[in-house]
Amino acid sequence: MNDQKFLEQTVNMARAGEYARAIPRFERLIKSYPDNVPLRLLWAKSLVLNFQFDEAELVLEHILEGTSRDASVMIEVAKCREQVDQYEAALNIWREIAEGGSSYSQKAWVEVSRLSERLNRVEEAQEAIFKAEVSGVSSPQYIYVRSLINERLGNYDEAIEGYLKIAQKAQSLEMRQSALCRLGKIHEAREDVDRAVKVVLEAKSLGCLEAVKMRKTSPVYGPEKFSACVSNPSGGREDHIMMLGFPRSGTTLVSRRLASHCQIQLMDESLVASHVLNKYNAHRGKISAIKSKEASSEYWSCVRRLMRDTCDDVILVDKNPALSLWVPWFTSVFPKAKTLWVDRDPRDIFVSCFFTYFPLNGLTSYFWNADSLVDVIEKAWRHRKYLKDNCDPHLVKFISYEALLENDGKLGADIWKFLGLECPVEDTREKAGKLINSPTYADSIKPIYRTSISRWRKYENHFSKQFERLNRLREEMG
């Protein structure tokens, strides 16, 4: 294989989230492309996202030593520095960019102000935000940082005005979440509990982890005001929820309904489980008790870092359809975890997967060929059978996608009972709709989404051989 093709494959792996596979390939590629800075940046990002922070640090150091201080490169390095909590180093890089007089100076002064405020250097933050203001910047990030400084100085009315603008108009979901949480803290400081609860609930409905943490550390969100404040004994440690099912089986619809509940925190296809799987799974199946304990500890260590130690207060739902092919492994690593498996007519799954473009990874590579797609669906069904036949029935719940749509997309009371929660009174669809705007989910909240049932009939003449095999799986489901 020539170097160019190897390079393209490696970059595609990294962009598809297969960091464990891509990282060793970067080490080989960098020998052929020693001066390729974008390649080194992608390598560093892959290391960070694979939780290999020390290795990422070495790559970033090499980039800074070898680069000609190009502002666009330095920005990427600063972002990576911040991801590994090196705020001082990130601040110094942003300051160098700001003082360099490039087209990035305005943005850089805002970032200098933000990081200075984070490091409790309020005067430096004020000076930097003033320089950004003088240069004519008016971005949402500027408004947010300006509000942070006003809050620090006790100028609450000005801070509230800025945060409201961000919460209502910012395109960045993360920025809206942060603005709502800051509003909650200001209202709490002013003892305006009703407003504080309202904005924190809204932040939680957007999937904000900081909102979860606020209910843990603040006494104002009592059970009578904020039901999610009640500590949930089934949350945390080993008794989380695994959300499984083949891609396009309805896991997105179910997980978003679950995420609308204030006591549930969704990890939507995070890389944590995949990282642990790649690190501790030598064979497809169960692993030893010692390795199982190590894998579990690694998983929760990564989760706590990702969620900033808020996972003990919530029911954690880890939605990861890729793990549907690793059932014996994860049941041995997480013997107390509950599992939700979403069922759908395998023929409809076939049609949806075959005609949908997916980023290429270890699972979706099977989707390009009709026969190989059937093979991998059958494989997933064998893992479903293992789950049904070998696991405690009190820890496993199968959800019918077709039945869910017949119920207008609402989860039944039996599912909430399985999770140990009361069925929400409000229609979860309205709240869930605020969480994500991807085409997949946008489709799932449309009434016409019921047409996704029995779509396979339109293609029966083209895939009769494949549907014959898949029909046997359907009959096994009952």
Output phi, psi for 470, to 5 deg. Answer: -70, -30
pLDDT at 378: 92
Q: How far apart are CA 72 and CA 299, in angstroms?
A: 34
345-372 burial code (b ≥16 CB/10 A, e <16)? bbbbbbbbbbeeeeebbebbebbeeeee
Mean pLDDT score of the chain:
78
pLDDT at 350: 92
**CB under 8 Å to 293, separation ≥6 — which residues?**
none
Is 63 or 229 the better-scoring residue by pLDDT?
Answer: 63
Nearest to 29 by CA among 19, 40, 41: 40
319, β-bridge pairs: 243, 268
Stretch 244-262: mean pLDDT: 84
pLDDT at 200 over 80: no
Nearest to 147 by CA among 136, 134, 161: 161
pLDDT at 416 over 70: yes
255 token code pair: 């997980």
Stretch 184-193: mean pLDDT: 82
Stretch 7-20: mean pLDDT: 78
| Confidence label for 470 from pLDDT (cuts 50, 70 and 90) | very high
Question: Taken in order 313, 413, 433, 268, is the CA torsion positive or negative?
Answer: positive
pLDDT at 60: 77
Please check whether residue 272 is in contact with residue 280, taking contact to mean a CB–CB distance below 8 angstroms. Answer: no
Cα–Cα distance list, 395 to 57, 70, 198, 252, 412 (Å) = 41, 54, 34, 21, 17
pLDDT at 170 over 80: no
| Confidence label for 450 from pLDDT (cuts 50, 70 and 90) | low
Domain ranges in the chain are: 3-188, 241-477
Judged by phi (left if over 0) then psi (alpha if -120 to 50, else beta), residue 237 lies in left
pLDDT at 374: 92
pLDDT at 271: 72
Strand-pair category, 315-319 with 338-343 = unpaired
pLDDT at 434 over 50: no
pLDDT at 449: 53
Q: How far apart are CA 304 and CA 312, in angstroms?
A: 9
pLDDT at 340 over 90: yes
- What pLDDT digit, counting tens, does each position of 275-328 carry? 788 777 655 556 666 778 888 888 888 887 776 656 666 788 888 887 888 888
pLDDT at 396 over 90: yes
pLDDT at 355 over 70: yes
Q: 262-271, 353-362, 379-388 — which one is most confidently predicted on average?
A: 379-388
227 token code pair: 């039901």
Stretch 159-183: mean pLDDT: 84
pLDDT at 73 over 80: no
Predicted TM-score (pTM) of this structure: 0.52
pLDDT at 397: 93
| Percentage of residues of the chain with pLDDT beyond 90 | 8
User: What is the domain class of 3-188 according to CATH?
Assistant: mainly alpha
Q: How far apart are CA 30 and CA 36, in angstroms?
A: 8
Please check whether residue 299 is in contact with residue 240, taking contact to mean a CB–CB distance below 8 angstroms. Answer: no
Q: For domain 241-477, give the fold.
A: Rossmann fold (3.40.50)
Is 354 or 312 the better-scoring residue by pLDDT?
Answer: 354
pLDDT at 451 over 60: yes
pLDDT at 224 over 50: no
- What pLDDT digit, counting tens, does each position of 100-125 carry? 877 788 888 999 998 998 888 888 88
pLDDT at 432 over 60: no
pLDDT at 215 over 60: no
